[in-house]
Amino acid sequence: MDDSKFDVCVIGSGPGGFGAVMRAFDFGKRVALVEGGNMGGAGVMHGAMTSKTLWELSKDYAVASAVDRGYRAGALTVDYEMVRDTVIQAAKEKQYQMLSQIETFTPPRWKGPGSITLKKGWASFIDDRSVEIAKPDGSKEILKADFFVIAAGSMPRNFPGIEVDHQRVLDSDDILSLKKFPKRILIIGAGVIGCEYATIFSNFHQTKVHLLDRQARILPNEDVDISEFVNTNLTARGVEVHHNAIMRKITSHPDFLEAVVDYEDGRTMVLEVDAALVAVGRGPNLGRLGLANVGIKINSKGGLDTDSDCRVKGNIFAVGDVTQHSALYNVAEMEGRYAVKAMYLRNKHPLRYSNMSTIMFFNPEVAAVGLNEQTCRANHIPYRVSYYSNALLNRAIAMRRTDGFVKIIISDDGQDRILGMRAAGPQASNTIMVIAHLMDQDKGVEDIMKSIHPHPSITEGIQECLRLLANKSIYKPQVFPNAMRIRSWKPE
């Protein structure tokens, strides 16, 4: 068989790319996967896998070092190099799972329908039927395919005026290059990435964390209650949050960094730190692809415009971070699978982004699905919302983890459709799927309330939050006004 001609060529092995590869394989297609960097893309080596492994380890350390539960660990120490090695081991474990699957289905070893061929290198379009692959050894190869999927992922965004040297001034891809815990770190950016790393370093109790927030509150895309909840917990763990602050410059000295921070009220503060982390988001990684050769333009936001089938143009599709729909692992994977189904007219349902759940790895964790209040208001959607604190949940009380809540938003149009949910606290990542699944089924409050949750469980918070909306809750807001409440909003 011609090793240079394939049915589908996928550029990038992250969640979107790998999802596309495996769906094309399911359809019995000959698939080429082109990857010039780490197998699994940023999602494995510089994203979800490594950062969440680091978070899990930091959470374990925070629990072990706690002194308010009747036990105390003696002589507790932590070594960053050993922590880093554990994180890298987790990432490689996933990489080798992916490689094992690819090698199993590589021709001529695989005799069944379809095949997967891994090409190491960086792809650049020659025309809409071929790409040139620049290999690591400097050689080049031409590859032809009927369809292409661009799944090139993203890279850390730069901060104007701040040069990342990858040694002491870092971006989110550099965390594993640290040799030890910095005594003091400045994190520039208070979005999800910045707050997650602030959580991780504060959990280990080895680093004084400064978190720079250019707005009045962290996590500006979430409602105020989520922002305040996360801010309060970060502050309680020693993180110093600098609101309405902009980084002016960082000066490198032999033994420290000197950061000049300007505040909106006219003040300026000079901070001495040992490391700085630029965490202002990620941008599409499109520089090597030769898109001009196939008449594809990058949009004003730096990404690619796609239609409802993830198609950019003709036989070329794009998925994941390059589309800028949402920089989530599960979104990229969903789009990769969907794009291949669209190629071969196998799609039965349109893509639905509104019900994609996400987890924010703070201490405690936060999970979200659907709309929040500020989005409802921006779109003039009348709603009702109920809030139920973990302080009233038997399971949370038993866990001694009552910091957290469930918030459910429903339409105020007589149909009581679930518009969105936010969960904060232990097991929030599991709790969110209860509502996400039911939202996919277009279920209303009355349908959902038919289910009885096990006891004691964290998901009982959902049950009581819904009962509160129906004025049927067991505990009453008149008695616990700070732990449960309900309100409504309509456009003026």
d(CA 131, CA 125): 4
Q: β-strands 115-120, 275-278: how paired? A: unpaired
Buried b (16+ CB within 10 A) or exposed e, 318-355: bbbbbbbbebbbebbbbbbbbbbbbbeeebeeebeeeb
The pLDDT of residue 356: 85
Is the predicted pLDDT of residue 198 greater than 90, yes or no? yes
What number of residues does the chain have? 492
d(CA 205, CA 62): 8
DSSP 3-state of 357: coil
The pLDDT of 191-203, averaged and rounded, is 97
Torsion of CA 155, 158, 163, 165, to 10 degrees: -20
Percent of the chain whose pLDDT exceeds 70: 99
Region of poorest pLDDT, from 64-78, 203-217, 433-447: 433-447
CA distances from 361 to 192, 230, 283, 402 (A): 8, 10, 21, 17
> In this structure, what DSSP letter does residue 271 have?
E
CATH class of the domain comprising 169-280? alpha beta
Is the predicted pLDDT of residue 159 greater than 90, yes or no? yes
Q: Do 260 and 270 contact (CB within 8 A), yes or no?
A: yes
Orientation of helix 48-64 relative to helix 192-204, angle to 10°: 40
Q: Tell me the β-bridge partners of 10.
A: 33, 149
CATH 3.30.390.30 domain position(s) in the chain: 364-489
Listed residue (140, 160, 169) closest to 288, CA to CA: 140
Model confidence at 147, pLDDT cuts 50, 70, 90, reads: very high
Q: Do 363 and 59 contact (CB within 8 A), yes or no?
A: yes
pTM value is: 0.93
Name the more confident of 171 and 434: 171
* Enclosing H/E stretch for 2: none
- Residue-wise pLDDT tens digits, 35-80: 999 999 988 988 889 999 999 999 999 999 988 878 888 888 999 9
Q: Backbone phi, then psi, for 470, in 5-degree steps?
A: -95, 10
CA 403 to chain centre: 23
- Residue-wise pLDDT tens digits, 338-390: 999 999 999 888 888 878 889 999 999 999 999 999 999 999 999 999 999 99
The pLDDT of 105-122, averaged and rounded, is 94
Angle at 268 between CA 267 and CA 273, to 5 degrees: 145
CA distances from 85 to 49, 89, 172, 467 (A): 13, 6, 17, 47
CATH 3.50.50.60 domain position(s) in the chain: 5-155+284-343, 169-280
- Residue-wise pLDDT tens digits, 263-311: 999 999 999 999 999 999 999 999 999 999 999 999 998 999 999 999 9
Strand (E) positions, 288-329?
A: 311-313, 316-318
- Which listed CATH number (3.50.50.60, 2.30.30.280, 3.40.1190.20, 3.40.50.720) goes with 5-155+284-343? 3.50.50.60
Is the predicted pLDDT of residue 1 greater than 70, yes or no? no
The pLDDT of residue 350: 87
- Residue-wise pLDDT tens digits, 448-485: 777 788 899 999 999 999 999 999 999 999 999 999 99
DSSP 3-state of 260: strand
The pLDDT of residue 366: 97
The pLDDT of 70-92, averaged and rounded, is 92
The pLDDT of residue 469: 92
Model confidence at 430, pLDDT cuts 50, 70, 90, reads: confident
User: What's the whole-number average pLDDT of the chain?
Assistant: 94
The pLDDT of residue 34: 98
Is the predicted pLDDT of residue 95 greater than 70, yes or no? yes
CATH class of the domain comprising 364-489? alpha beta
